[in-house]
């Protein structure tokens, strides 16, 4: 999946917490979010960047849950991000893991 396809997919599944997301879809989305926030911050300041972050929160949570589903974990594991440093490290480790085959969350996503 390329950058444009990943962004389109994440916006089309804006609040779709079911299913699975490949590593490429997840990481392209993360790059998109970082770029949007940096550009808005540079051009318009902190408040519009906070609004952009808030607007991208739901699709980010959804793609994060789908990525966790892809490795056989529940999307609720995203709550680990509330544990400083350790939670983030664990979530990054899981996000870079390869996809499982078919699991309880559906068939393996097409590459």
40 falls within a domain: yes
Mean pLDDT confidence for 19-45 = 95
Torsion of CA 5, 8, 12, 17, to 10 degrees: 60
107 falls within a domain: no
The percentage of the chain sitting over the pLDDT mark of 90, rounded to a whole number, equals 84
109 falls within a domain: no
Examine the pLDDT at 31 and tell me if it is beyond 90: yes
Is the pTM value of this prediction over 0.75? yes
| Whole-number pLDDT of residue 11 | 94
Interacting residues of 80 by C-beta distance below 8 A, sequence separation 6+: 86, 87, 88, 90, 91
Name the average pLDDT for the chain: 93
Number of domains in the chain: 1
Examine the pLDDT at 52 and tell me if it is beyond 70: yes
Residue 13 lies in domain? 3-95
89 falls within a domain: yes
Burial of 66 per CB tally in 10 Å (0-12, 13-18, 19+): buried
Structure tokens at 14: 């804006």
């Amino acid at each position: 999946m390329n950058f444009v396809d990943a962004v389109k997919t994440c916006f089309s599944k804006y609040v779709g917490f079911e299913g699975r997301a490949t590593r490429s879809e997840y990481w392209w989305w993360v790059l998109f979010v970082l770029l949007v926030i940096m550009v808005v911050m540079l051009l318009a300041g902190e408040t519009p960047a906070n609004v952009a972050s808030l607007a991208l929160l739901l699709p980010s949570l959804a793609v994060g849950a789908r990525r966790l589903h892809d490795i056989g974990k529940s999307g609720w594991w995203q709550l680990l991000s509330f544990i400083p440093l350790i939670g983030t490290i664990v979530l990054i480790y899981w996000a870079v893991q390869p996809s499982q085959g078919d699991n309880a969350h559906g068939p393996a996503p097409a590459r």
